[in-house]
Amino acid sequence: MYTGYQYTIKREYKNTNEWRCRRRPCTISLSLCRNNISVIREPGDHTCTPPSPKKRFVEEAISRMKKRANEETNSPNILPGNYKNSC
Cβ distance to Zn ion smaller for residue 27 or 70: 27
Q: CA dihedral defined by 34, 37, 42, 46, rounded to 10 degrees?
A: 100
Sort 47 into a burial class: Cβ within 10 Å, 0-12 / 13-18 / 19+.
Answer: exposed
Residue 16 phi/psi, 5-degree rounding, is -135, 160
Find the length of the chain.
87
Candidate ranges 9-17, 34-42, 47-55, 71-79; the one touching Zn ion (CB under 5 A)? 47-55
Q: Write out the binding residues for Zn ion, residues 61-80 only, by CB under 5 A.
A: none
- In angstroms, give the least distance from the CB of 27 to Zn ion: 8
Question: Should residue 51 be labelled a site residue for Zn ion when binding is judged by CB under 5 A?
Answer: no
DSSP class of 5 = B
Question: Should residue 20 be labelled a site residue for Zn ion when binding is judged by CB under 5 A?
Answer: no
Question: Should residue 29 be labelled a site residue for Zn ion when binding is judged by CB under 5 A?
Answer: no
Residues lying near Zn ion in the complex (CB under 5 A) are found at 21, 23, 26, 28, 46, 48
